[in-house]
């Protein structure tokens, strides 16, 4: 199938039952390490929100949301695509203060994602958000948060390898921080994805910053919704995956928009009408707190640490029949 990668002579390092135990250990360890590193409380979160609320994540702005009508409620409900906006409102409602934050299990259906080694119709991630001060809306603070997250990932990897000696992944602790413009300047003849693979192959652990604005070439490195991340203070955590020999994005995150950057980015996106929604009004009038946050792919992290070749080896989703057949022929068993 298109975009599928089959590593030569691939043999899973863990049996199906070992994989299930390793998934639990990975998730338990990482979420506890993340919560300790960033001072986060675990909370419950919604699977669906109303369309009228305006708090669903628009991702790149083109993905179709799964939606439905209800018997007892008017309007349309949508399955969340992430909780970027909802979390910020929750921090306000629950009375969190600077230095305190939350994380939750986020499950979503992204109907327009192409299924391949790294992408599934089912998305599971830890969505997290933390209250910050105006003085912390800086690149240096963002880098400090990224360093703590990578530290939690390395701690988890060490724990999982100790429990399952067949695993031997090494994660580089030295993070390379680079902007999308610096990356384009470095590899002007490559596509955005090729640039990511080139820099991560060399540096192993990379935080790619400032995603959403157009570059000097006139194109964006990648799309970002205009109303959660500040495009000058965001980024992706990329880790080199030796099994697939590619850059693996485990997190999209950033310092969130304040009133000034929200209005500016909505204007650039031609979406000023969103300022009528309660979430957007709360940012513009200063009601909602300033925050930093993001999503961390649960299956992506399990796939990386357990050295799997396909995300379907660590999560249960829907796959085309021919994908299942081709994967089985190459030693990849989809759950």
pLDDT given at position 48: 87
Residue 299, domain CATH: 3.30.930.10
Output DSSP code: residue 14.
Answer: S
Query: What is the mean pLDDT of the segment spanning 8-32?
Result: 96
CB 184 within 8 A of CB 195: yes
Could you list the active site residues?
57, 110, 125, 236, 249, 252
pLDDT given at position 200: 98
Q: Is the pLDDT of residue 58 over 80?
A: no
pLDDT given at position 217: 93
Q: Give the dihedral sign, CA 31/59/83/106.
A: negative
Asked whether residue 139 is assigned to any structural domain, the reply reads yes
Q: Is the pLDDT of residue 284 over 90?
A: yes
**Number of structural domains found in the chain:** 1
Q: Is the pLDDT of residue 4 over 70?
A: yes
CB 122 within 8 A of CB 93: no
CA dist., res. 335 & res. 331, Å (int): 13
CB 294 within 8 A of CB 94: no
List pLDDT tens digits, range 166-212. 999 999 999 999 999 999 999 999 999 999 999 999 999 999 999 99
Number of H helices, E strands in the chain: 9, 11
Asked whether residue 197 is assigned to any structural domain, the reply reads yes
Mean pLDDT of all residues in the chain? 93
Q: What share of the chain is helix, strand, coil (3-state, %, to 5)?
A: 40, 20, 40
pLDDT band at 277; cut points 50, 70, 90:
confident
Residue 277 tokens read as 């929604």
CA dist., res. 109 & res. 218, Å (int): 32
Residue 134 tokens read as 């105006």
- DSSP string computed for 116-171: SSS--SEEEEEEEEEE--GGG-SHHHHHHHHHHHHHHHHHHHHHHHHH-TT-----
List pLDDT tens digits, range 213-232. 999 999 999 988 899 899 99
Asked whether residue 1 is assigned to any structural domain, the reply reads no
How are strands ordered across the β-sheet holding 246-256? Answer: 40-42, 101-109, 122-131, 291-297, 246-256, 229-241, 205-209, 176-179
- Give bridge partners of residue 107 from the DSSP assignment: 124
Locus of tokens 């203070």:
233
Asked whether residue 4 is assigned to any structural domain, the reply reads no
Asked whether residue 9 is assigned to any structural domain, the reply reads no
CA dist., res. 38 & res. 301, Å (int): 18
List pLDDT tens digits, range 133-170. 999 999 999 999 999 999 999 999 999 999 999 999 99
Asked whether residue 334 is assigned to any structural domain, the reply reads no
Asked whether residue 206 is assigned to any structural domain, the reply reads yes
CA dist., res. 47 & res. 66, Å (int): 11
Residue 183's domain comprises 16-329
Q: Is the pLDDT of residue 55 over 80?
A: no
Asked whether residue 10 is assigned to any structural domain, the reply reads no
């Amino acid at each position: 199938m298109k975009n599928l990668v089959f590593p030569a002579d691939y043999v899973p390092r863990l049996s199906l039952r070992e994989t299930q135990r390793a998934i639990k250990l990975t998730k338990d360890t990482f979420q506890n390490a993340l919560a300790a590193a960033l001072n986060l409380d675990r909370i419950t979160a919604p699977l669906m929100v109303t369309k009228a609320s305006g708090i669903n994540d628009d991702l790149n702005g083109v993905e179709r949301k799964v939606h439905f009508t209800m018997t007892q409620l008017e309007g349309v409900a949508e399955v969340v695509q992430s909780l970027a906006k909802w979390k910020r409102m929750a921090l306000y409602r629950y009375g969190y203060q600077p230095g305190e934050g939350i994380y939750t299990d986020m499950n979503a259906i992204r109907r327009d994602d192409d299924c391949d080694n790294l992408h599934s119709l089912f998305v599971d991630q830890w969505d997290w958000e933390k209250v910050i001060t105006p003085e912390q809306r800086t690149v240096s603070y963002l880098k400090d948060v990224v360093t703590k997250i990578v530290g939690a990932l390395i701690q988890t990897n060490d724990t999982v390898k100790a429990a399952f000696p067949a695993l031997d992944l090494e994660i580089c602790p030295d993070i390379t921080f680079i902007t999308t413009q610096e990356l384009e300047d470095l590899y002007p003849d490559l596509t955005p994805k090729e640039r990511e693979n080139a820099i991560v192959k060399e540096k192993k652990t990379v935080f790619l910053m400032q995603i959403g604005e157009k570059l000097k070439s006139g194109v964006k490195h990648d799309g970002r919704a205009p109303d959660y991340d500040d495009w000058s203070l965001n980024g992706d955590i990329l880790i080199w995956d030796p099994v697939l020999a590619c850059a693996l994005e485990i997190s999209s995150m950033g310092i969130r928009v304040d009133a000034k950057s929200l209005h500016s980015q909505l204007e650039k996106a031609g979406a000023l009408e969103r300022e009528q929604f309660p979430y957007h009004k709360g940012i513009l009038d200063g009601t909602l707190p300033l925050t930093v946050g993001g999503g961390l792919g649960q299956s992506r992290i399990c796939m990386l640490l357990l050295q799997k070749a396909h995300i379907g080896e660590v999560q249960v989703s829907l796959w085309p029949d021919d994908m299942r057949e081709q994967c089985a022929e190459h030693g990849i068993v989809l759950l």
